[in-house]
Amino acid sequence: MKYKRILLKLSGESLQGKQGYGLSVEVLQSYAEQIRQAVNSGLQVAIVIGGGNIFRGLQGAKRGFDRVKGDQMGMLATIINSLALQSALEENGVRARVLTSIRMEPVGEYYSKARALECLAAGEVVIIGGGTSNPYFSTDSAAALRAIEIEADVLLKGTRVDGIYTADPEKDPSATRFETISFDEVYARGLKVMDLTAFTLCRENGMPVEVFDMDTEGNLMRLLGGERIGTLVHM
* Chain segment 197-222, per-residue pLDDT in tens: 999 999 999 999 999 999 999 999 99
* Strand 109-110 to 231-234 pairing: unpaired
Q: Per-residue confidence of the chain (235 residues) as pLDDT tens digits? A: 789 999 999 999 999 998 888 999 999 999 999 999 999 999 999 999 999 999 876 666 677 778 899 899 999 999 999 999 999 999 999 999 999 999 999 999 999 999 999 999 999 999 999 999 999 999 999 999 999 999 999 999 999 889 999 988 878 889 999 999 999 999 999 998 899 999 999 999 999 999 999 999 999 999 999 999 999 999 9
pLDDT of residue 169: 82
Distance, CA of 82 to CA of 95 (rounded, Å) = 13
DSSP string, 48-90: EE--TTT--HHHHHHTT--HHHHHHHHHHHHHHHHHHHHHHHH
**Among candidate residues 15, 46, 11, 6, the one with its CA nearest the CA of residue 156:** 6
165 three-state secondary structure: strand
Task: For 89-130, give the DSSP string.
Answer: HHHTT--EEEEESS-BTTTBEEP-HHHHHHHHHTT-EEEEES
**In the prediction, which pLDDT does 58 show?**
63
Instruction: Please report the pLDDT score of residue 9 as a whole number.
Output: 98
5 with 43: CB under 8 angstroms? yes
Domain boundaries, the chain: 5-234
CATH topology of domain 5-234: Carbamate kinase (3.40.1160)
Kindly give the pairing relationship between strand 231-234 and strand 209-213: antiparallel
